[in-house]
Amino acid sequence: MDRMDKRIRRAEEEGCRNHKMESLLLRQFRERFGGKPEAKACAPGRVNLIGEHTDYNDGYVLPIAISRRICAAASKSGTETVTLRSGNLKGEVAFDVGAIKPSGDWGDYPKGIVAKLRERRFPVRGFNACFLSNVPIGAGVSSSAAMEVVVCHLLEKLFGFSIPPEDEAVLCQQAEHEFAGTRCGIMDQFVSILGRADSALFLDCRTLRYEHVPFSLGDCVLVACDSRVERGLATSEYNRRRAECEQGVKILSERFPAVKALRDATVAEVEECSHEMPEEIFRRCRHVVTENARVLETVEAMRENRRERIGELMNLSHDSLRDDYCVSCAQLDLLVDTARSIDGVLGSRLTGAGFGGSTISLVHRSAIDEFQNGITEAYLKAFDTAPRFFECIASDGAERANKT
């Protein structure tokens, strides 16, 4: 490991100390491209408190932007060529803005954004950029959305145009559909742009209306625990779930024409149609409908500062994701079960798409050591791997962060 690598590793470990990341980034830029960058931007990862697999069903979500972020710096290249270097990922990416094709590596996220912007006739030409990130990759905290958002902001600044945040989120989502092949919902990109410090983002994914709900945990902490499971089948399984929901809507809407998306259905309606749909589809629908209700209840519990109830709703969400939506796995279940067995843990669930990635737990500050030790021991014993922990602090999204 050379000295730069060591410094990057340290910056990653230090997590949210962004000023340090920025000076490392500038140095990296100078060493690779020379001089000072003309534009800089950053965008955070996210964890979702509750509302999983509801976004692409026109439902509700309640994520927070976290303090881990991707920072980027760029200058125009004066040609049509884009050259990208990451301080965290191997290999440089180079391509021509006039001939963009996915290549199956990290460059697909920036490529997708450049392609989408140019499709909409924004004046994007060649540029040189460096990236530095402390968002853990593959941990289910949306490093991909952070990458899309940071590139979009960077190019807006570099080439002098501006896109309304809601449209930006949609553009980033489309880039992910077309260049990464995941038919994701809007949640990750939206919160990476519009998240706010000390707040959770309550988003209606049908209307894109949102509200920042004060997020104060008092003597509790929200801790993410990365299972470090490789998410090999995540994309195909994710897309399959989405198709299953669409199948459910088709069946439901024959009897209840007002049901245009699972957002519109009630549990009673889903149950009434249970004999007309395969068991599997019934369960997928039941998860989405009950999860939407849990989001609404969590928002109420947050407003009333009822943290025990928030913990219970988190538990119910995980159970539904495990049993009805079938997106958990042995590793995530062990993390959740062990967390719940520890005194001082109010609730625990998988966060994000599932199939690996991270759990989040609401933990009393006084129980943190016991929590980390207990989970590490159980996880090492079962899977011979140590999980990684990090505290989730509700932070500003790119929209605010890039203005200050």
- Residues 70, 143: contact at Cβ < 8 Å? yes
Shortest Å, Cβ 287 to ligand GLA = 11
The answer to whether 188 is a known catalytic residue is yes
Q: How far is the CB of 48 from ligand GLA (least distance, A)?
A: 6
Residue with tokens 């009434």: 272
Compose the 307-346 pattern: x for residues touching ligand GLA by CB under 6 A, - for all others: ----------------------------------------
Q: Closest Cα partner for 148 from 196, 198, 182?
A: 182
In the complex with ligand GLA, the residue whose CB is nearer, 136 or 352, is 352
Nearest-angstrom CA–CA distance, 169 and 328: 27
* Active-site option among 55, 58, 188, 324: 188
- Among residues 121, 123, 176, the alpha carbon closest in space to that of 148 is found at 176
Regarding 155 and contact with ligand GLA (CB under 6 A), the answer is no
Using the structure block, give the residue that is written with the tokens 């947050």: 302
Looking at the Cβ atoms of 48 and 395, the one nearer to ligand GLA is 48
Report, in Å, the least distance between residue 13 CB and ligand GLA. 25
d(CA 352, CA 47): 7
Choice from 187, 270, 273, 281 touching ligand GLA (CB under 6 A)? 187
Residue 175 CB, nearest distance to ligand GLA (Å)? 12
Beta strand ranges found along 28-101 (DSSP E): 39-48, 60-61, 63-76, 81-86, 93-96
Nearer to ligand GLA, 142 or 361 (CB): 142
As a whole number of angstroms, the distance between CA 22 and CA 72 comes to 9
235 vs 376 by CB, closer to ligand GLA: 235
3-state secondary structure (DSSP) of residue 219: coil
* Overall size of the chain counted in residues: 404
* Residue 108 binds to ligand GLA (criterion: CB under 6 A): no
Q: How many CB atoms lie within 10 A of CB 13?
A: 10
Give the residue, chosen from 201, 353, 363, 393, that forms a contact with ligand GLA under the rule CB under 6 A.
353
| Residue 6, burial from CB neighbour count under 10 angstroms (0-12, 13-18, 19+) | exposed
Q: Which has the closest alpha carbon to 183: 141, 144, 239? A: 239
Indicate whether 148 belongs to the interface with ligand GLA (CB under 6 A).
no
Q: How far is the CB of 184 from ligand GLA (least distance, A)?
A: 3
Binder among 58, 108, 188, 396 for ligand GLA (CB under 6 A): 188
Tell me: does residue 203 bind ligand GLA (CB under 6 A). no
The token pair at 92 is 């440089």
Nearest approach, Cβ of residue 357 and ligand GLA (Å)? 8
156 near ligand GLA (CB under 6 A): no
| Total of residues contacting ligand GLA (CB under 6 A) | 12
Q: How far apart are CA 71 and CA 133, in angstroms?
A: 6
Closest separation in Å from C-beta 222 to ligand GLA: 17
Residue found under tokens 């965008």: 43
Q: Is 265 in the site for ligand GLA (CB under 6 A)?
A: no
In the region spanning residues 22 to 81, those forming contacts with ligand GLA, defined by CB under 6 A, are 48, 52-53, 55-56
Residue 45 or 110: the one with the smaller Cβ distance to ligand GLA is 45
Task: Report residue 243 CA to chain centroid gap.
Answer: 21
Q: Where does this chain touch ligand GLA (CB under 6 A) — which range of 185-193, 261-269, 282-290, 309-317?
A: 185-193
Closest CA to 163 of 108, 117, 209: 117
Tell me the CA distances in angstroms from 322 to 59, 185, 234, 283, one per residue in order: 19, 20, 15, 11
264 binds ligand GLA (CB under 6 A): no
Active centre residues (catalytic): 188
Residues within the interface to ligand GLA (CB under 6 A): 48, 52-53, 55-56, 142, 184-185, 187-188, 352-353
